[in-house]
Amino acid sequence: MTAESTLSAAPAAPTTAPQDAPPPGTTPPAPARGRRRAWDEVPRWQIYLPLGIYLLFTLVPFYWILLFALRPAGSTSLVPWPMTSAHFEKVWNERSFGVFFQNSLLIGVAVLVMTTVVALAGGYALARFDFRIKKGFMLALLCSQFVPGALLLVPLFQIFAELRMINSLGSVIIAETVFQLPLSMILISGFIRNVPYSLEEAAWVDGCNRFHAFRIVVLPLLRPGLVAVGSFAFVHAWNHFLFALMFLSSQDKQTIPVGLNTLMGADSVDLGALAAGGVIAAVPVVVVFAFIQKWLVTGFSAGAVKG
């Protein structure tokens, strides 16, 4: 039982990590009359106990940041009562999170649109045509997964300086899109491959041209996949930190993660402001996450990741 034995033997993570969680999926081997059992019938406590412990580890940090954002400065109470919005007002106005929020939103939406459109075109070509450089192109897509954006900061900076795009949101939009493209394209071409070609061919027979057939036949079927890919792109762009830190210098161009970093770097960290800023940073992502959650798993299992 490799997984379980290693699980308990793993270097114990401190604090709340569920070290003592009973390993899932392993009870003593089924009793002799196990034949009647449904294959997935596991004693309830073996599900709820480890899950509960893990949930504690997951949710306490979320609670912690809400607590700090909502309780008055100096309070040490463990419930956010009396509640105050002072931290939010301060961060939004004095620390310009209102401006950062707009910038981040603009970047996120632009990256979402560009990534989806460009990856859709490329993904369609990869799924539906055989052409000479296809193998090489696929290989390039895979290899690009190994290229660390963080290590290309300097040449990218030089390129954007050459294009006179330093301190413009466009530089971050392009950089985020480019690093988002390869995986998006691989995923989308997988989704398209799962739509039978015969559907498109039938539409041609009915007089559609290729583009029209794609739009009315394939596109509607791709919607869940596109929602997933677009959401990944948005969340990544919203979250990413280094490109914005490097390419955007003036205060009015900064993004939320850079703003958070500034709050953390201050000499004496204003914890209430930091927590409120964090909550602001989390809101759009939580909304998107709630929206795509049900597609998250199935989107991946469409076989796309395995290529």
Indicate which single residue of 107, 110, 233, 260 sits in contact with other proteins (rule: CB under 8 A): 260
Does residue number 215 form part of the binding site for other proteins (CB under 8 A)? Answer: no
Indicate which single residue of 110, 111, 172, 275 sits in contact with other proteins (rule: CB under 8 A): 275
Query: Who's near 15: CB < 8 A, 6+ residues apart?
Result: 57
Indicate which single residue of 199, 215, 249, 266 sits in contact with other proteins (rule: CB under 8 A): 199
Indicate which single residue of 91, 112, 126, 169 sits in contact with other proteins (rule: CB under 8 A): 126
Task: Decide: 227 and 265 in contact? Cβ < 8 Å.
Answer: no
Select from 86-94, 95-103, 105-113, 151-159 the region that touches other proteins (CB under 8 A): 151-159
Indicate which single residue of 20, 51, 164, 212 sits in contact with other proteins (rule: CB under 8 A): 51
- In this structure, what are the phi and psi dihedrals at residue 255, rounded to the nearest 5 degrees? -115, 170
The CA distance from 218 to 197, in Å, is 9
Residue 268 to residues 74, 144, 241, 253, 275, Cα–Cα distance (Å): 14, 40, 22, 25, 14
Residue closer to other proteins, measured from CB, 98 or 303: 303
Does residue number 7 form part of the binding site for other proteins (CB under 8 A)? Answer: yes
Restricting to residues 57-86, which ones interact with other proteins according to CB under 8 A? 57-62, 64-65, 68, 76, 78
For residue 307, count CB atoms less than 10 angstroms from its CB and return exposed for 0-12, middle for 13-18, buried for 19 or more: exposed
Does residue number 250 form part of the binding site for other proteins (CB under 8 A)? Answer: no
The CA distance from 219 to 197, in Å, is 13
Does residue number 195 form part of the binding site for other proteins (CB under 8 A)? Answer: yes
Does residue number 11 form part of the binding site for other proteins (CB under 8 A)? Answer: yes
Restricting to residues 81-120, which ones interact with other proteins according to CB under 8 A? 118-119
Tokens 């009562």 -> residue? 81
> Least CB distance from residue 235 to other proteins, whole Å?
5
Does residue number 283 form part of the binding site for other proteins (CB under 8 A)? Answer: no
Indicate which single residue of 97, 101, 124, 247 sits in contact with other proteins (rule: CB under 8 A): 124
250 φ/ψ sector (left φ>0, alpha ψ -120 to 50, else beta): beta
The CA distance from 260 to 247, in Å, is 17
Does residue number 207 form part of the binding site for other proteins (CB under 8 A)? Answer: no
Does residue number 293 form part of the binding site for other proteins (CB under 8 A)? Answer: yes
Map residues 26-45 to x or -, x wherever contact with other proteins holds by CB under 8 A: xxxxx---xx-x-xx-x-x-
Tell me the two tokens of residue 187.
Answer: 């995923």
> Least CB distance from residue 56 to other proteins, whole Å?
11
Tokens 């076989």 -> residue? 303
DSSP code per residue over 159-188: HHHHTT-TTSHHHHHHHHHHHHHHHHHHHH
Does residue number 177 form part of the binding site for other proteins (CB under 8 A)? Answer: yes
Nearest to 110 by CA among 216, 258, 238, 10: 238
